[in-house]
Amino acid sequence: MKRGILGFVRTDIKDRFIYRLKLNEFTKIAKGAGYEILDEVVQTSEKIDPSYVFGKGKVEELKILANRLQIDSLIMYNTLNSMQKINLEDYLGLSVLDRYDLILEIFDQNAGDAISKLQIELARLERMIPYVRKRASILYFRDRPGPRSLGEYGYHRTIAQLLKRKKKIREKLEKYRYLKEIQREKRRELGVLVFTLCGFYGAGKTTLFNALTNLKKEIKGIPFTTLSSKSFLIKYSGMELIVIDTIGFAFDIDPILIKSFEVTLEDLRDADYDLLILDASDEEQLFKAKLDTSLEILNKLEINKEKILPVLNKTDLIDKEELISKMNIVEEKINKEPIYISAFYKYNIDKLLNSILSKKI
């Protein structure tokens, strides 16, 4: 197992609570990606240090801590630019990842199909190209006027290859998008109602998908088990419906990452309904924060609010009082009464389907 320390520079001084929830969730992702998290370094500072993210004193502290704990990776919650990453790597002698890198790492471990692999590679290239450029500018160009060195030629070749690869992936993804568009067109012609299961990782989307379809898609209990959409035709009450299982949401996802996964996320935009699956067993503040983030993501994806149907899952884990309180939170936020289910025990699945159908008829 890889040994890591978590790092975060908290710039929002007023936020004394939400950042804690986000860091706890981030730790879950790190563990899911195979890291043992041995410690955590959080600095509160109004400004991010442009060179090292942390202030100088804190970086020194971090170095001593990393040596003592025999750490091999620093995992930062903040997004780092290439220069900050390089500085930290060189000074600490550790592998340095930020939120973006960590999510890609766990995606990599879970990617089984061609579309997600391509989307991950694209997201990785978006980050790698500026990083390689920065590394090279330190190696070859700093204070070194004069003729080009062999290394510099090599660097130009590497960059050209990376750019070429990026273009190729974009073209391939464009083909997939086209094929998906044809599929959707066919569905539209047939008039079949399409709904997606969306929401945070671990909310139980795939468990519900399995309950609806009688399929046995993998459920591992680690974040981002599902990466690519899977659709399936179900028959209910003499009607045909298509259900689509989708990739999970997370806190503070980088817009570039969302952009890289566009082909997958388009399913949400195109569906008749997006069922927002919420884990009703989450502690209240976490539940609210996840609900807010999910609505922000759906908003960024330009999804019409009318299409969003909230669903409280894992209600087998809570009592009636808590259920009522969670229902109220949802109603306050989106002015819609959620349907409550237990995907695991297949409780209220019929009610859920009836409710979707009743909207259409």
Ligand X SMILES: Nc1nc2c(ncn2[C@@H]2O[C@H](COP(=O)(O)OP(=O)(O)OP(=O)(O)O)[C@@H](O)[C@H]2O)c(=O)[nH]1
Q: Which stretch binds ligand X (CB under 6 A): 60-68, 72-80, 295-303, 336-344?
A: 336-344
Shorter beta-carbon distance to Mg ion: residue 43 or 206: 206
Task: Tell the smallest beta-carbon distance from residue 11 to Mg ion (Å).
Answer: 33
Shorter beta-carbon distance to ligand X: residue 204 or 338: 204
Pick out residues in 229-268 that bind ligand X (CB under 6 A). 248
Q: What ranges in the chain are assigned the alpha helix state H?
A: 18-32, 56-69, 82-92, 99-110, 114-136, 150-190, 205-213, 255-260, 262-270, 284-300, 320-334, 349-360
The DSSP bridge partners found for residue 40 are 6
The residue within the footprint of ligand X, chosen from 43, 73, 207, 264 (CB under 6 A), is 207
Shorter beta-carbon distance to Mg ion: residue 85 or 205: 205
Residue whose C-alpha is closest to residue 307's, from 344, 340, 268: 268
Q: Is 317 a binder of ligand X (CB under 6 A)?
A: yes
- Per-residue binding string, Mg ion, 210-229, x by CB under 5 A, is ---------------xx---
CB contact set of 224 (below 8 Å; sequence gap of 6+): 29, 32, 103, 106, 107, 110, 201, 247, 248, 250
Q: Is 205 a binder of ligand X (CB under 6 A)?
A: yes
CB contact set of 129 (below 8 Å; sequence gap of 6+): 159, 162, 163, 166
Measured distance CA(222)–CA(159) in Å, rounded: 35
- Per-residue binding string, Mg ion, 180-209, x by CB under 5 A, is -------------------------xx---
Residue in the structure block whose two tokens are 């620093």? 74
Residue in the structure block whose two tokens are 């563990």? 31
The residue within the footprint of ligand X, chosen from 57, 221, 238, 255 (CB under 6 A), is 221
The residue within the footprint of ligand X, chosen from 54, 107, 201, 251 (CB under 6 A), is 201
Shorter beta-carbon distance to Mg ion: residue 109 or 161: 109
Q: Is 231 a binder of Mg ion (CB under 5 A)?
A: no
| Angle ∠(89,95,99) on CA atoms, nearest 5 | 100
- Which residues of the chain form contacts with ligand X (CB under 6 A)? 201-207, 219, 221, 223-226, 248, 313-314, 316-317, 342-344
